[in-house]
Structure 1
């Protein structure tokens, strides 16, 4: 059978072209995502100011999660004040240099203020001037000096939290840090600006000491600290690098799972169609005594040859595609632009094995019917395939549909984000059920539209409906990729619009302040003091992220939550308090959104273990529950509790009420990088994170829809191009080319409409469940423009992919088509 399989592939390549395309695309996508996953595990951002350090030591920037990825901390975790002294005593250490960094604005340009003693870590040396010797002196790195056109003797304004102070430039170094320009102060002044906090310690090794051995030695001298060597030193320098690696691992693994699931359905439907078109050939083999096992071996060998070749060919462009995806995610702000990719043979090999295994399993499923049927039945069904589906397949399909509907309704009975996420995922389960019930759905849709379609198109409609009814299995295989495309687009886009609309509405409805004051590099206490001279209510607010310890299904879990620190917010914010009192909170209290409380399983008066942004742990008592968590964060703490555990130790916003605009403008005059905006312009809590997620999801959606669109075209072209004999018979009985094309167009419209209706039936209950779980209302936000775009694209793509190949197939004379078919 292997020889026969190879001969079949060699002499009839057109029959396997669609399968090869589907496998090649799946292999390319999985390879690209595998490269990103490996990069998230092994790669990172190269260091800049720590380039000369052999080892960089920092506090732990992640919290260990059992049997899951560690949770990255959102803020810089501090080291002990004596960290450098303890590290210096470790064997192999030549010098240990502590760094305390502060985000500043230098004449409006963002920079990092550090001590001159850290210059050897770059290494940076003076090319002009001298080192700073007084608190009011500084040295600029080369890039910052060029940007400011400043040199020794010039004076610049350095603002911390908006409060400016003049410094004299005493020197310029020979190095620059493009990602984060540096200015060097005296070590004492840098430590003072940082509030005495030590961020990292850069270590220079003695001759002969390797970074790996030195890291082990340091870990013994300073237990609990994290050591960074090689490219991982960039994680210590740039917090977003470590965060990006975590994002990349999560994103690529979940994205790969979605691609694999879609690939299974696409490849299976393509193989079902391909094998269905060869039903007569397989029936003849059964008639000449080929056993079911031989049929399976032959089909399996064909698929292994085709899918193996296509998968290997697809893995090569997959590596190139990984670079494109990296650039796209960097453009969306989810990765640093200089994040390096890690390349090895593992991702291409894994992609090839996964895709070939998927194709082989799909081939076994598709060949079961022609291989198991008796020869006479197989010959009869090769001419007219039965529309019925097996009892097992029907039961499985209805079970998937029922399970999907139950998941949609889960938020009605189980509160919390887990139930809402289950509702959002239910659409794919419903689609799988619809794919299993495909032939029945095709027949049902043909019966429903029979009368109106016949009335509109009395000649073409009966032919189109007869064709659909006669070969419901083939048409069902064509519907699956279209249905997948519609469902994926609907779920991804409408989930984002629903959450964004709910968050925006809550933010708008809860805002009582007239003006919001924001700063480019945070807001110092002096800004709020100046505003209190001209306004009735001035409430500073700090934003951050915390993680809550709780149990889910009996397992310990850490859930990250958007948080805000604010005191007595009632005058400027209406969080729609449902229980308790926000204005009477103390340092041992916390307020939660009702959604977070349901997710965490806590109630008013319970104690909740929280991990703050820098890793510090507290266990406050739940003092209030409020409804507007999407707009203002799921956690509200007293400002003095959250503020000390942020990287900058500065407020993010100041909410002002009871002051006119000229007075506020005058009060802010002289502060650098500080601006007042109308309260309506305030973005909701977590909006930047959601924006990043939206762009990331959009990129993933474009990639998935591109794959699905090619798969749809691929399947439709294959299905249409193989109908030459059918078209020739229609031509011989007097049907014109235009009439045949109208028949094909009506079939395409029927299939596209079925995919749109079933897709909407899968998407809308899913979105209703998600909306109810998040906002307590079952009405999602589904802009009609998006529906129109999905509908138009689906109809046009389906029409083009059927009528164009049909027109090509109709070009030869009918007799030529019949002779070619035989």
Structure 2
């Protein structure tokens, strides 16, 4: 039986080709994902560890300490006396005070250099007497910055931007532009620089002025003397560490960074593997369809094997051995292809300026085992039912050319089961729209509904395809024959269409959700703002209050407010909340919210307005006074003078900035809203940007810009998802080709007879193409219908969290999806149609 199985694989190479390709694509995606994520994870871990080679112990603020949990805000920075005391400990070879934050560097062309969030600034620590060197940043050219007005930049940034020692560069830390002279270019193992970011170094005094306060550091690192271990040094420095800070060994820092990098890449790995799973799930239909057709074509052969003594188990095993051989070949080929995909993805990211640290491709044993397990497992499992069906062929069937068709009872049972699954799934999806279980009920219902529709697809195929009859009549005899061929074997048609249905269900559902969310968020943004412009940093870092002051001095500005955020404890609640500081006199001209009680009029002094959700949580009403602990630890009370309906953009406790500023550690805005005399316009925008020094780190946006940003974000996400789902569509195309090719093979006698009685080659090709288009559109209609239903259900769930949610049905895109489904049918039919038209009539009629 083993020899028989292998002989059958070799005898049906062409028919198994599409199955092999389908499995190969899925396995390639799995292995490529595992190799790619392992490669970038290893590269970033190695880069981060190299950046910690000079750190044996680090003292840093501890967000989880008891001292922090009892007060609002972040833990305090580290003082100079701690650095001095740590440096005097025995066993300490050197100590470094670190200061870091955001720093946007503009290139000679005025555009930002680096990648936004990785555009950072730090200090060059030259020792307590400012005469030493910082071993973290060895100078390749020039010298380190020594005073204000001087900076050093990393070598990679210098190469990208073209800056040289002695050039003047424009830098922005919190809004205002600083003109700095480049005194040096340094090398670094900093992971953010290796990832394509930029690093700007200031002297320590300037960095403290920009990021902390004089004599304060964000981290202190120690290097152990010879003979002192990291743990010994940590124990020595521990008594000096404040209650809201912690001492951590360099090894633990490296381990923590490795864990964070692993978590960051695991999300991407999970997402990519999910799409690989979708394509493999689609491939299951092709595999099952292929082996079902192969078994049907070999009915007489398998029955003869039974007649000469082969047991059912042996017949089943022979079919599974065929699947095992196909899966093994596909798994190995897919693994090799996946390595190529991983290398290509890394090159593609570098091409888009998403830099990955240099390093080899990491091909782990898990990737090899996963590829073989997926390739073999999916193929064997998909072939199991056809194998069992083959084993049930009675020996007497050897006298017939075709095995018995499914019984009426079998079809009735299938349809009953499908209806139960579909009904239960639809009910759970609808129930999930009002559930608080984070979509678990809806997800379970969606799975059951898809399974139910798949089981019912043979039943649905006849009426749906029959609806296309008027259109097919235009094609004459070819159209009629195409319709009859499409419904001749409903199970085969259903399996083929289902593969395409899965892909279009996901694509349509995601499109409906994304378009609806974009419309809803845009509506919320435009309806909530009455300001002409919103000013913020390009990466949403804090803005200096000087930005609002500068803009307020412009003659075209008629109303302006900075929005400031400060942590606080409210009404005895131990969880940190945030107070928002605004200009109480102008805020009502810049935002549009509905007040359920009170208004902006009373905002000032120790008064506040609160959104209704927060008020409901605390049980507050207008006129109530509640205690507050501010960021600096001071206590006070606020009186509620208004309750308003909040949204995702404007919510929380808002008070006048004059009352909040004295309690903030650093007075900063997260954005500035303003109105102008002439409204939004290019001339006004240019004037505002010029007033801010044409700073590329600051964005001045009107409502249209905000809407475009929202639309761009969702469009980018959609395009990424379309790209990932494209593989599932490719696999579905292979399924259509496979079905048609094997259908042509089965019907060669029939096609030969049709040719003999007058059907010409063109009409034969048209018949096969129309059959393919009908099957593809059948799958497309089911997929679009399910996608719209799932999109509506998710929208109903989201409407409970987003008050402005509005369902958007992208009719034009859905029409494009159906058009693409028809195009898939046309393309998939090219080879089978050509093969059918070129059949030798006499040889086909004689075929057994």
Same fold at TM > 0.5? yes
- The residue aligned with 1:402 is 423
Q: Which moved more, 1:788-797 or 1:386-395?
A: 386-395
**In 2: Cα distance, 1:644 partner to 1:182 partner:** 32
Q: Which moved more, 1:753-762 or 1:368-377?
A: 368-377
* Structure 1 counterpart of 2:493, from 467, 472, 475: 475
2:122 matched to 1:114? yes
- The residue aligned with 1:172 is 184
2:117 matched to 1:104? no
- The residue aligned with 2:504 is 486
After TM superposition, the structure 1 = structure 2 runs for residues 118-133 of structure 1, keeping only pairs within 5 Å, are 120-125=134-139, 127-128=141-142, 132=146
Q: Matched residue of 2:829: which SS?
A: helix
2:832 matched to 1:810? no
Q: Contact 2:35–2:342 at 8 Å: present in 1 too?
A: yes
Provide, for residues 274-317 of structure 1, a one-character-per-residue CA deviation record: whole Å limited to 9, x for no partner.
33233223344344453322222111111111101210111111
**In 1: Cα distance, 2:562 partner to 2:276 partner:** 45
Q: Contact 2:285–2:499 at 8 Å: present in 1 too?
A: no
2:369 matched to 1:349? yes
Provide, for residues 484-505 of structure 1, a one-character-per-residue CA deviation record: whole Å limited to 9, x for no partner.
2322221233322221122112
2:777 matched to 1:741? no
Q: Which moved more, 1:336-345 or 1:249-258?
A: 336-345
Q: Contact 1:40–1:246 at 8 Å: present in 2 too?
A: no
Q: Using the TM superposition, give the Cα deviation of residue 350 of structure 1 relative to its aligned residue in structure 2, in angstroms.
A: 1.3
2:811 matched to 1:800? no
Q: Matched residue of 1:413: which SS?
A: coil
* Structure 1 counterpart of 2:274, from 253, 257, 266: 257
Per the alignment, do residues 4 and 205 of structure 1 end up closer, same or farther by CA in structure 2, a change over 3 Å counting? farther
**In 2: Cα distance, 1:112 partner to 1:642 partner:** 28
After TM superposition, the structure 1 = structure 2 runs for residues 154-303 of structure 1, keeping only pairs within 5 Å, are 158-165=171-178, 171-175=183-187, 179-196=196-213, 198-207=217-226, 246-279=263-296, 280=299, 281-303=301-323
- The residue aligned with 2:571 is none
Q: Which moved more, 1:438-447 or 1:776-785?
A: 776-785
Provide, for residues 766-808 of structure 1, a one-character-per-residue CA deviation record: whole Å limited to 9, x for no partner.
1112223334689632333322321222111212212432222
**In 1: Cα distance, 2:178 partner to 2:417 partner:** 72
**In 1: Cα distance, 2:237 partner to 2:723 partner:** 42
Provide, for residues 234-269 of structure 1, a one-character-per-residue CA deviation record: whole Å limited to 9, x for no partner.
x97xxxx98775443123213313422441342244
Per the alignment, do residues 272 and 687 of structure 1 end up closer, same or farther by CA in structure 2, a change over 3 Å counting? closer
- The residue aligned with 1:540 is 562
Q: Contact 1:48–1:122 at 8 Å: present in 2 too?
A: no
TM-score normalised to structure 2 length:
0.76
Q: Contact 2:63–2:74 at 8 Å: present in 1 too?
A: no
Q: Matched residue of 2:518: which SS?
A: helix
Q: Matched residue of 2:560: which SS?
A: strand
- The residue aligned with 1:506 is 524
Q: Which moved more, 1:641-650 or 1:30-39?
A: 641-650
**Which structure's CA Rg is the greater one?**
2
Provide, for residues 293-343 of structure 1, a one-character-per-residue CA deviation record: whole Å limited to 9, x for no partner.
22221111111111012101111111221233455567789x654486643
Q: Using the TM superposition, give the Cα deviation of residue 213 of structure 1 relative to its aligned residue in structure 2, in angstroms.
A: 9.6
**In 1: Cα distance, 2:581 partner to 2:396 partner:** 79
**In 2: Cα distance, 1:456 partner to 1:301 partner:** 47
Q: Using the TM superposition, give the Cα deviation of residue 463 of structure 1 relative to its aligned residue in structure 2, in angstroms.
A: 2.6
Per the alignment, do residues 390 and 685 of structure 1 end up closer, same or farther by CA in structure 2, a change over 3 Å counting? same
- The residue aligned with 2:69 is none
**In 1: Cα distance, 2:711 partner to 2:77 partner:** 31
Which 5+ residue runs of structure 2 have no aligned equivalent? 66-72, 114-118, 127-132, 569-574, 622-637
* Structure 2 counterpart of 1:441, from 460, 472, 495: 460
Per the alignment, do residues 151 and 761 of structure 1 end up closer, same or farther by CA in structure 2, a change over 3 Å counting? closer
Q: Contact 1:498–1:780 at 8 Å: present in 2 too?
A: yes
Per the alignment, do residues 437 and 142 of structure 1 end up closer, same or farther by CA in structure 2, a change over 3 Å counting? closer
- The residue aligned with 2:325 is 305
Q: Using the TM superposition, give the Cα deviation of residue 654 of structure 1 relative to its aligned residue in structure 2, in angstroms.
A: 0.8
Per the alignment, do residues 678 and 26 of structure 1 end up closer, same or farther by CA in structure 2, a change over 3 Å counting? closer
Q: Matched residue of 1:382: which SS?
A: coil
Q: Matched residue of 2:781: which SS?
A: helix
Q: Matched residue of 1:350: which SS?
A: helix
Count of residues in Structure 1 that have an aligned counterpart in Structure 2:
769
Q: Contact 2:43–2:357 at 8 Å: present in 1 too?
A: no
Per the alignment, do residues 667 and 397 of structure 1 end up closer, same or farther by CA in structure 2, a change over 3 Å counting? closer
**In 1: Cα distance, 2:472 partner to 2:753 partner:** 22
After TM superposition, the structure 1 = structure 2 runs for residues 351-370 of structure 1, keeping only pairs within 5 Å, are 351-370=371-390
Q: Using the TM superposition, give the Cα deviation of residue 25 of structure 1 relative to its aligned residue in structure 2, in angstroms.
A: 1.3
Provide, for residues 131-171 of structure 1, a one-character-per-residue CA deviation record: whole Å limited to 9, x for no partner.
51x4455455556677575645x7666543232455566x3
Q: Contact 2:781–2:818 at 8 Å: present in 1 too?
A: no
Q: Contact 1:36–1:249 at 8 Å: present in 2 too?
A: no
Which 5+ residue runs of structure 1 have no aligned equivalent? 65-74, 547-557, 608-619
**In 1: Cα distance, 2:180 partner to 2:805 partner:** 58
**In 1: Cα distance, 2:452 partner to 2:487 partner:** 20
- The residue aligned with 1:614 is none
**In 1: Cα distance, 2:517 partner to 2:14 partner:** 46
Q: Matched residue of 2:95: which SS?
A: strand
Q: Contact 2:545–2:667 at 8 Å: present in 1 too?
A: no
**In 2: Cα distance, 1:80 partner to 1:592 partner:** 36
After TM superposition, the structure 1 = structure 2 runs for residues 15-26 of structure 1, keeping only pairs within 5 Å, are 15-26=15-26
**In 2: Cα distance, 1:60 partner to 1:818 partner:** 85
Per the alignment, do residues 447 and 151 of structure 1 end up closer, same or farther by CA in structure 2, a change over 3 Å counting? closer
* Structure 1 counterpart of 2:813, from 769, 786, 791: 786
**In 1: Cα distance, 2:768 partner to 2:776 partner:** 12
Q: Contact 1:498–1:781 at 8 Å: present in 2 too?
A: yes
Q: Using the TM superposition, give the Cα deviation of residue 652 of structure 1 relative to its aligned residue in structure 2, in angstroms.
A: 3.8
**In 2: Cα distance, 1:254 partner to 1:545 partner:** 34
Provide, for residues 568-605 of structure 1, a one-character-per-residue CA deviation record: whole Å limited to 9, x for no partner.
654322255679989979999997798xx9xxx98564
Q: Contact 1:576–1:626 at 8 Å: present in 2 too?
A: yes
2:462 matched to 1:430? no
Q: Matched residue of 1:540: which SS?
A: strand
**In 2: Cα distance, 1:125 partner to 1:482 partner:** 59
Q: Contact 2:63–2:75 at 8 Å: present in 1 too?
A: no
Q: Using the TM superposition, give the Cα deviation of residue 701 of structure 1 relative to its aligned residue in structure 2, in angstroms.
A: 2.9
Per the alignment, do residues 628 and 123 of structure 1 end up closer, same or farther by CA in structure 2, a change over 3 Å counting? closer
Q: Matched residue of 1:94: which SS?
A: strand
Q: Using the TM superposition, give the Cα deviation of residue 445 of structure 1 relative to its aligned residue in structure 2, in angstroms.
A: 2.6
Q: Which moved more, 1:310-319 or 1:531-540?
A: 531-540
Q: Using the TM superposition, give the Cα deviation of residue 202 of structure 1 relative to its aligned residue in structure 2, in angstroms.
A: 4.5
- The residue aligned with 1:555 is none
Q: Using the TM superposition, give the Cα deviation of residue 443 of structure 1 relative to its aligned residue in structure 2, in angstroms.
A: 2.6
Q: Contact 2:24–2:333 at 8 Å: present in 1 too?
A: yes
TM-score normalised to structure 1 length:
0.78
**In 2: Cα distance, 1:381 partner to 1:625 partner:** 78
Q: Which moved more, 1:392-401 or 1:511-520?
A: 392-401
Per the alignment, do residues 696 and 666 of structure 1 end up closer, same or farther by CA in structure 2, a change over 3 Å counting? closer
Q: Contact 2:764–2:836 at 8 Å: present in 1 too?
A: no
- The residue aligned with 2:691 is 669
Per the alignment, do residues 144 and 658 of structure 1 end up closer, same or farther by CA in structure 2, a change over 3 Å counting? same
After TM superposition, the structure 1 = structure 2 runs for residues 689-700 of structure 1, keeping only pairs within 5 Å, are 693-700=717-724
- The residue aligned with 1:769 is 793
Q: Which moved more, 1:804-813 or 1:198-207?
A: 198-207
Q: Which moved more, 1:41-50 or 1:473-482?
A: 41-50
Q: Using the TM superposition, give the Cα deviation of residue 187 of structure 1 relative to its aligned residue in structure 2, in angstroms.
A: 1.6
**In 1: Cα distance, 2:379 partner to 2:660 partner:** 53
Provide, for residues 52-79 of structure 1, a one-character-per-residue CA deviation record: whole Å limited to 9, x for no partner.
5345848699999xxxxxxxxxx99876
After TM superposition, the structure 1 = structure 2 runs for residues 85-100 of structure 1, keeping only pairs within 5 Å, are 94-100=93-99
